Structure 1
Amino acid sequence: MQNVFIIGSKGIPAAYGGYETFVDKLTEYHRNNDKIKYHVACKGEENKEYIYHNARCFMIKVPDIGPAQAIYYDVAALKECCRYIEKKQVKQPVIYILACRIGPFIRHYVRKIHKLGGKVYVNPDGHEWMRQKWNACVRKYWKISEQMMVKNADLLICDSKNIEQYIKKEYEKYYPKTTFIAYGTEIRKSQMADSDEKLKKWYAERKIHPKQYYLVVGRFVPENNYEVMIKEFIKCKSERDFVLITNVNDKFLKELELKTGYSKDSRIKFAGTVYDSEMLMKIRENAYGYFHGHEVGGTNPSLLEALASTQLNLLLNVGFNREVAEDGAMYWSKEEGNLAGLIEKADHLDQSEINKYTERARKRVRDRYSWEYISGQYEKLFLK
């Protein structure tokens, strides 16, 4: 039996977040129960264990210490893994750490895990140190931490080929061992009916109509290019709405109002958050088109979900996005007028042209990004 310990997600069942969804789906689509046993660290109010998707979930109680919580949590979870492995005499365990938060502490634990006969794998995520939400000191910590994680890991599992290339080039002197396994997504349709009262009420309250809106779903942070998308939408002549499903914060919203004056354009509608996954899938399906402005990170979950659900996708032209969608999407740049022009072009595509984009996007997701396929790739790796 191969025991795999996963650290770095807030836990499962997933309520939100890319890593949480990844672990949830990895365990849900897990088929080799007689060959692999997953142990998942979960952030909680008390130290306890439970079983979910046949995985052993162990809670780690984390004190309220502000932003340092995440680092404390990962270190405490790693410490608990070592204790469990030693106590149960687990043979050849794999510790899989999601994100590069604990670089200053990693060398000590890697040595300990090696002594216990185990290996340490790391998912380096995207360029966390580039995110504009962090101040200069935090960004410097992220960069140093990433460097130390790469230097000490036995294997880096990258969910983007662009991230894998970056790791190999940036940290060439450490001869990092890497492999590529993408993030995944569901490839089915939503189980929610168009006639569902909850859905109809959501549309009615926001004065939104199916197939009459462009959509974006994502974290409300500057590097997702909300400013560019809003400015360009204001310039375009589309009669459709621009619906933004995001966790709005007042500070950034005020900045956007000052820079774009979006409140004067009735087409731009901040729609809050939607935590019902079936409803969110249905909202994606009913969109005329989807905007994706992410330019930091690896294989982005919201992009995969859009490619699997929305007929037409308009993506920022960066390596991460082209790598995933290939010829299944239209692409825009941040050059003034570029996205506005693309929206007007998209508005006037005939259905046969839209269908070609849809078919290519669905095939791309089905072949390389379904959760069943991704879970299988991980199982092959862990059993190698």
Structure 2
Amino acid sequence: MSEKPPISNEPSGEQSLPDEIWERFVRDTEQDIAASAPKEPSARDRMAASRPRGGRDDSRGADRGRRSGEPEGWRTGPAWQEMNGRAGRRRRMWGVLGIFVATGVLLVALNPSRALSLVTGDDASDGTATAQLPPETAAPTAAPSFYDPDRPTLKEPFRGSPAAQYADGAAGIEAPEATALGGLSKERVAAGLAATRTLLIESNLAPATLRGERPDTALGLIDPLEKDVLDALTTGLTKPDRDHDPLTLFSRFDTRKVKPVGSVVKTRGRMTFDKASDGGVVVHADYTFVYPLVKAAPGSTEVARTIVRRVLDVELADPAHKQATAGKLWIVRYDVDTANSACGVHDGYLHPEFADETPTGPSPSGSAIDPYDRSRALSPDRPEGCGLISRS
């Protein structure tokens, strides 16, 4: 295009263009063509085009590409393939995450305690996951609901039991606020309530008593003038038999055969007081104690729970109406209902029954009773014998 066209030999009335004008026309034309021709982007431009721009409008980048002369879709194939690959991986990742979330929701719905143990790393669900019940202020109207059927373990001895919501040991024995009553001052009533609480603790929770040792502190709280009761208890502690059974007032285990699991005994109940018919005050106590135990043999892992419910009435006598020793308790009534302990054995110890043992003594009979049902009254004239229990 830089060459001059040949001069025509044909005659014409028009004069030919001067050489300087023609050269200028050629230069301008070549510059325009060079400016409008497509250009392959540089390596830097290609890297910038494939780099994601967070938070920016993609349409602006497209406009810039078109204004620079880059054709739409210029070398964009590999970048789109890479983006499609990342999107596919993200979809697979969210799909797997969704499966895990759905599985977790199902596990929580079916077994909350197990789900919590997986999260915390503990093989436990009750003590951590179960809220303690408020103090019992009146007789319940029904038995507690049945819990997760999981078996107790050495780490979780109260798993699957209503006792998981009971208080620990002496914390579950609370004396009510004292008032003056029956001719006794408020201070005298308060002292009697405190002594009753100590008697319950020393009879059912003190480690020495549970090991089968002589409960001297508990015996020392009983009025020495009540000789018949003290004589029966003393005989039962030294030479137990059917008619002299220390288990009517004390919880004791044979350490040669069983040992406690941990140091916690679960406790649930209430204490009330009222005016006695002949002056003074009668304190009424109704408590359930749950003992987790394992065989004393090395390597034993099966946990058995023995449940003991005690009803105890003691009198704070008014010296003006009854001869009594100041500061001592006069026992009016004591009763016991025991579950998951060998029936018909009168050796002065509670004997929890394990699944791998052959039951001893008479076979249980009658309708099954829930030992955690504190709405059930312990009638003094209830039939004797070995009964069935619905759970332990």
User: TM-score scaled to structure 1, two decimals?
Assistant: 0.22
User: TM-score scaled to structure 2, two decimals?
Assistant: 0.21
More helix by share: 1
